[in-house]
Amino acid sequence: MSAEPPAFPPHPNSPDLSHIAPRDKAEILAEALPYIRRFHGKTIVIKYGGNAMTDPALQQDFAEDVVLLKLVGMNPVVVHGGGPQIDEALAKVGKKGTFIQGMRVTDDETMEVVEWVLAGQVQQDIVGLINAAGGKAVGLTGRDGGLIRARKLKMLDKNDPTKEHDVGQVGEIESIDPSVVKALQDDQFIPVISPLGFGGNNENYNINADVVAGKLAEVLKAEKLMMLTNISGVLDKQGNLLTNLSAREIDDLFADGTISGGMMPKIASALDAAKNGVNTVHIIDGRVPHAMLLEILTEQAYGTMIRSH
């Protein structure tokens, strides 16, 4: 009698694991079990960006990881950025991005492009990838279900705090109503959220995706916030990876200048989340295939974990 065919045919891009001995495969699966048990039913907010978002092989890995987390009983929520894609779209319409203190100046025309890229192209690409990997993803913006209420960001000059820069339709979060996200989670869907908010007079706002991910993780009382980046994690002054830090140790690294420059806003969002109820925040290297899965389901560190205490 012939063996039954597998219920799910192997994915065309699946790696060949025939060289791994059965005992080793069993050990790998057994190692994941306590983590699956511990995080079953827990919410995991994932900030998706960097190479993981632009390299086709890593995109596929990411989608498979998200689907697997959902299938083993966790509740992944994806928040995405899209800086490079926005720059590309602006260039196509002959517009050059302007930045003040690292913040994109968002006039009316830029805002139209930002909305089209984030809520259209990027979000739908991610939804499609997750669905193709066997999940049920649903795209949301901050408007859907009144998810992200925002106001215009007041940006003070870093050298002269009495001076304020106008960065256009860039918002800061006023409040988050997570009911639409919770309803989707309870219904086996995977929410994919674009970092766009709305104001009291129905204005549109572009919001930093790291900030949205951090605040959403707080409001959802997430077990973990995973931030995929293009670096291996938080490094000390000698360039060594710091894998396990408390919120207080992060404060010290800010104070002595170890954390500076482009990493500051990302780590600041991570730190806020850790101080406001998110159990652990992970800054992980999105250039490593399946880094997120390895970080959650194994002992091995693939980035920096920030503990709430």
Token output for 95: 């517009």
Give the orientation angle of helix 56-71 with respect to helix 123-132, to 10 degrees: 60
- Cβ(178)–Cβ(216) under 8 Å? yes
Q: Is 100 exposed, middle or buried (0-12, 13-18, 19+ CB in 10 A)?
A: middle
Q: Pick from 247, 254, 302, 297: which is nearest to 273 by CA?
A: 247
Check the annotation: does 257 bind a ligand. no
Check the annotation: does 128 bind a ligand. no
Token output for 230: 């293009």
Check the annotation: does 83 bind a ligand. yes
Radius of gyration (C-alpha) of the chain in whole angstroms: 20
Q: Is 199 exposed, middle or buried (0-12, 13-18, 19+ CB in 10 A)?
A: middle
Check the annotation: does 38 bind a ligand. no
Alpha-carbon span 302 to 309, nearest angstrom: 20
**Cα four-point dihedral sign 240, 246, 250, 253:** negative
Torsion of CA 229, 284, 251, 172, to 10 degrees: 50
Helices (H) and strands (E) in the chain, counts: 11, 16
Residues tagged in the binding site annotation for substrate: 82-83, 104, 206
User: Which residues line the annotated binding site?
Assistant: 82-83, 104, 206
